[in-house]
Structure 1
Amino acid sequence: MSSERKANLFVVGAMRSGTTSFSEVLSKHPQIYFSPIKEPNYFVDSLPKALYEPSRFFDLETYFDKKFPSPKHIAHIENPIHYQTLFSQAAEQHIYVAEASTAYLHAPDTARRIYEYNPNATIVIILRDPLERAYSHYRMDLGLGREKQSFEHCMTTQLKLQRSGDLPWYTYLNMSFYDSVIEKYSALFKTVICVRFEDMIDNTDSFLANLSAELKISPFGYYLFDKNNAAQTPRFKSMWYWGRRLGLKAPFSYLFPSKLKQGIFQKLSRTDRSHLEISNPLFEELNEVFKKQSLNYYKSV
């Protein structure tokens, strides 16, 4: 792999912090080549089903033999040849060769693995209000049929696990903890750029100007961010939940074209942009925990 172009720009998260919109902007810049699989997750040793459950109709060998470089959102690539192939079309004009696996921010030992692959890589971390990020993550799982409990129930349970030291890294709560993971990346990499989701959405021009200056590339063109991947709340939550548990999602995805699937999903769902509602005691406890675990976000506000 040493003779080939290596990825040297990693958008490592946070999940549900606008990384899809951000990656789209990067991919349009003439000096950046972006992986056709946005989240290859190559440096994650074990990717839990809570984050990714591959369709039994998807095969990586078939993708690279017949469909590459068609765009795909997520996969779990373990073969180094497959990973290198993702960047095989990068040209001399591309200063950066990029990917954006959001599990990298919190998955154990990922920072070290990326460093061993390319110690000169640039790391970008997008920070979002921790509670809003956790809620957006929860709503996404509702829409995907991964979750059926209330947000209050989930967070109460996860706070108990956090107090006992048993909180899994991929939970809504833990993936909104930023400080310790930023410290891990900063200890290894010379260039770690932390930006705010809210600045990306609300102050796009200055956000992109600052980003191009930090990356030392030509200015980005005009771009209006929307909140890509806005969570869809299913109208029939039990139907989505049990449909996934019974293995109906994979054949549905395989049999129907993308546009038809999106139309059916939108008919049976609603875009949920409502603000979260939780009890005051839980709200206060979460705020206290986040201010201890995600001080980097609050310092930047």
Structure 2
Amino acid sequence: MPKRIDFMIAGVQKGGTTSLDAYLRQHPGISMAKKKEVHFFDKRPPTHIPPIDYAIYHREFDWEQKAAGAKLGEATPILTWWTGSMERLWRYHPEIKVIMLLRDPVERAWSHFRMDKRLQREGESFSDAIRNERERARRNLPKQDRERSQLARGFYAPQVRNLMRLFRDDQLLFLRSEYLSKSPQVTLDKVTAFLEVDTFVFEPEPRHNSAQDSESLSPADRAFLEDAYRFDAQETRRLLGWDKWPWSV
């Protein structure tokens, strides 16, 4: 078999993927990519050589570690949402293991907006941004708009269904972001079992990429988001066999 990485943390943005990536870098039997978010499968490399030149991708990994028995992986959390990315990942390695972290979609959208504000990528108020997102995103049609996606990325059911279409159940691990935050070791034990590496006592990681201000979500905006996400969140939980707690919808 050609050389391939072993696993991908493929979703979702603002769902705890930076923390999971940092935790897994502690494990001696896991070797993460040189950087988080390689963005290979959602951005075709500028080689224009068909088929895709995976050597470009493979520069991001330590293959000596793999030869010594480590599992290679990376985290690019746009992949479950970005159209075509998971199909490209499947073509690369149909037996790869995929991890998806899911967060209360209301809190995820709010966190996404605050990040965009912090990075000066968003000039609108949150109220206007979520209510006008569809119209604002039309500027990139027929393509998806990466930036105008604070609302769109929280519709999880289509992302979960697509993963289930492409990969067997034993290749997929769905986790709640809230559990990683509250009980990291319990969640990480599930990850190490899934990746078939030794159990490991992880050192606590600080909160990564969290907002430093105390601004809160307004009741009107929360109600708007809860109404927008209610049915998709119910369908997502049905697909995964999850209870509602600790989500708001």
Normalised to the residue count of structure 1, the TM-score between the two structures is 0.68
Please say if residues 7 and 97 of structure 2, whose CA atoms lie closer than 8 Å, have aligned partners that are also in contact. Answer: yes
Unmatched tracts of structure 1, length 5 or more: 48-59, 61-77, 232-270
Partner of 2:34: 36
Q: Are residues 94 and 294 of structure 1, via their aligned partners in 2, closer, same or farther at CA, if it must alter by over 3 Å?
A: farther
Size of the aligned set, in residue pairs, is: 227
1:293 to 227, 232, 238: 232
Deviations along 1:56-100, whole A, 9 cap, x unmatched? xxxx9xxxxxxxxxxxxxxxxx85322112123433344421011
Q: How does 1:191-202 map to 2 (within 5 A)?
A: 191-202=171-182
Partner of 1:104: 79
Instruction: Mark the structure with the bigger radius of gyration.
Output: 1
Please say if residues 124 and 195 of structure 1, whose CA atoms lie closer than 8 Å, have aligned partners that are also in contact. Answer: yes
Q: Are residues 215 and 91 of structure 1, via their aligned partners in 2, closer, same or farther at CA, if it must alter by over 3 Å?
A: closer
Indicate the RMSD between aligned Cα atoms, in angstroms: 2.7
Structure 1 stretch displaced more, 288-297 or 133-142: 288-297
Q: Distance in 1 between matches of 2:145 and 2:193?
A: 33
Please say if residues 107 and 169 of structure 1, whose CA atoms lie closer than 8 Å, have aligned partners that are also in contact. Answer: no
Please say if residues 31 and 72 of structure 2, whose CA atoms lie closer than 8 Å, have aligned partners that are also in contact. Answer: yes
Q: Secondary structure at the match of 1:37?
A: coil
Normalised to the residue count of structure 2, the TM-score between the two structures is 0.81
Partner of 1:85: 59
Partner of 2:22: 24
Q: Distance in 2 between matches of 1:180 and 1:20?
A: 23
Please say if residues 204 and 225 of structure 1, whose CA atoms lie closer than 8 Å, have aligned partners that are also in contact. Answer: no
Deviations along 1:258-277, whole A, 9 cap, x unmatched? xxxxxxxxxxxxx1244322
Counterpart residue identity of residue 88, structure 2: R
Please state if 1:129 is matched with 2:104.
Answer: yes
Q: Distance in 2 between matches of 1:138 and 1:202?
A: 23
Q: Distance in 2 between matches of 1:89 and 1:292?
A: 47
Partner of 1:155: 130
Q: Distance in 2 between matches of 1:167 and 1:112?
A: 16
Q: Are residues 159 and 290 of structure 1, via their aligned partners in 2, closer, same or farther at CA, if it must alter by over 3 Å?
A: farther
Post-superposition offset of 1:9: 0.5
Q: Distance in 2 between matches of 1:292 and 1:154?
A: 21
Counterpart residue identity of residue 179, structure 1: A
Identity, % of aligned pairs?
Answer: 23
Deviations along 1:195-243, whole A, 9 cap, x unmatched? 0111001112221222222322211223324320113xxxxxxxxxxxx
Q: Distance in 1 between matches of 2:219 and 2:77?
A: 26
Please state if 1:188 is matched with 2:143.
Answer: no
Counterpart residue identity of residue 16, structure 1: K
